[in-house]
Amino acid sequence: MNYRINEIFETLQGEGVFTGVPAIFVRLQGCPVGCPWCDTQHTWNTDADKQVAVAELAKKTAADDRWAELSADDIVAWFERNGYRAKHVVITGGEPAMFDLQPLAEVLEKRGYRLQIETSGTFPLQVSAATWVTLSPKLDMPGGYLVQPENMRRANEIKHPIAMQKHIDALDQLLQQYPVADDVVISLQPISQRPRATELAIATCIERGWRLSVQMHKYLNIE
């Protein structure tokens, strides 16, 4: 099983439950959902002429749409070659649920890594039982994909980007339609750190006992 990789890097997780935790990010290439505010739009397309060798991918110093195919063993070798110390691995994208992640999870978990996937919830999840699923539901996006009810039931964390009240209302409707487990963490994440969105998120989190996700990495200006 090979995976289309846009980049791999070690940093701190900046969002959600694991904010501040040292993490290795494995960013996959490809996503048809089309979120207008997406800050990784360079991962949407998988043009054949953008495929490069692993050695060239390793030289990337800025975000772009080049990608390479790596196996699970190749990914572990990348970790070891770069001396990464983090044991928390975040599979992100793009939309990582477009891939069967179980072979990757098997290889990484045997080596002592904990996996987290960040997904829109619009594709069937193929992950290990131990994988932490962070579902950031994408509703009424240009791609026309729907959040799947089985993904809501599987989610460990619902992390919802908001800019205005209608986004909270849409989440309420989704949660009513597709209930989640009692122990699921629900957090609101202001889109692009907009002040009004942040104020709304804070007020709503206090009122409902939810959490605030503030994209710490953007405030710290780290990857």
What is the residue-wise DSSP string for 136-195? ----S-TT-----HHHHHH-SEEEEEESSHHHHHHHHHHHHHS---TT-EEEEEEGGG-H
Range of the domain at 168: 2-220
Is 137 a known ligand-binding residue? yes
Is 205 a known ligand-binding residue? no
What's the pLDDT score for residue 124?
Answer: 97
Is 138 a known ligand-binding residue? yes
Is 12 a known ligand-binding residue? yes
Is 92 a known ligand-binding residue? yes
Say if residue 209 is preceded by a cis peptide, omega within 30 of 0: no
Is 11 a known ligand-binding residue? no
What's the pLDDT score for residue 220?
Answer: 72
Give the pLDDT of the chain (223 residues) as one tens digit per residue. Answer: 899 999 999 999 999 999 999 999 999 999 999 988 788 999 999 999 999 999 999 999 899 999 999 999 999 999 999 999 999 999 999 999 999 999 999 999 999 999 999 999 999 999 999 999 999 998 888 889 999 999 999 999 999 999 999 999 999 999 999 999 999 999 999 987 788 999 999 999 999 999 999 877 777 777 6
User: Could you tell me the two tokens for 182?
Assistant: 């009692």
Q: Where are the beta strands (DSSP E) in the chain?
A: 2-12, 22-28, 68-71, 88-92, 114-119, 132-135, 157-162, 185-190, 211-212
Is 19 a known ligand-binding residue? no
What's the pLDDT score for residue 158?
Answer: 98
What's the pLDDT score for residue 138?
Answer: 86
CATH label of the domain that carries residue 36: 3.20.20.70
pTM: 0.94
Is 132 a known ligand-binding residue? no
Is 51 a known ligand-binding residue? no
Q: Do residues 63 and 40 touch, judged by C-beta distance below 8 A? A: yes
Name the nearest CA neighbour of 107 among 82, 75, 139: 75
User: Quick one: 133 exposed, middle or buried, by C-beta within 10 A (0-12, 13-18, 19+)?
Assistant: buried
Number of domains in the chain: 1
Is 35 a known ligand-binding residue? yes
Is 144 a known ligand-binding residue? no
